[in-house]
Amino acid sequence: MQGRFPPTPAETAPIVAPIATSRERRGVFGRLQIVALLALLAGIASIPGAVIFSTWATHRAMLREWVVKGPACPVSETLSVAARGARPPPPFVYKGVGFAYQIGDAFCAAVPVEDVFSSKTFPVCNFDAPAAIAVTLGARHVLFEPGVGHAAWVTIRDGRISCVMGRGMRD
């Protein structure tokens, strides 16, 4: 089979099929492909937004749970006899801050600052019934006496030590 070179369009018609590029030739399947591709691209583009929202929601929840407002804990120079526990738990260090308490349990967390894009945290500890709490930060030593049966929250933020009496941890 010999023919002319280059072949005429009439000779190549059965071999070459045109690519459907016009809107009229694009069928339901072609439109569905475009919609699916756009949905996929929108889903991929929304991932950073979802991560930012999730981080923000987690920060807000931790701040709500761990930053408590209430009356300030009384500060004392020496431990009173009424605040002494029979067998106090051993002192502990959390995030470079030393804590000692007389009675009860302690729970601590590294709470993120309000800025979503910051990785900075500050330590907060909850004592469910401490009677007295000694906090040591560097060379500073502060003794709080919230009393027996009163929950206390100690926060160390920007080098400041604060203690408030408030609700205990919720299980």
pLDDT (mean) for 161-169: 82
The domain segmentation of the chain, as residue ranges, is 67-165
pLDDT in tens, 107-160: 999 988 877 777 888 999 999 888 889 999 988 999 998 888 888 999 998 889
Q: From CA 4, how far away is CA 87, in angstroms rounded?
A: 107
pLDDT (mean) for 44-48: 91
Q: Is 171 a residue whose pLDDT tops 50? A: no
Q: From CA 98, how far away is CA 122, in angstroms rounded?
A: 14
pLDDT in tens, 71-107: 999 998 887 776 677 778 888 999 999 999 888 888 9
For the beta carbon of residue 127, count every other beta carbon within 10 angstroms: 28
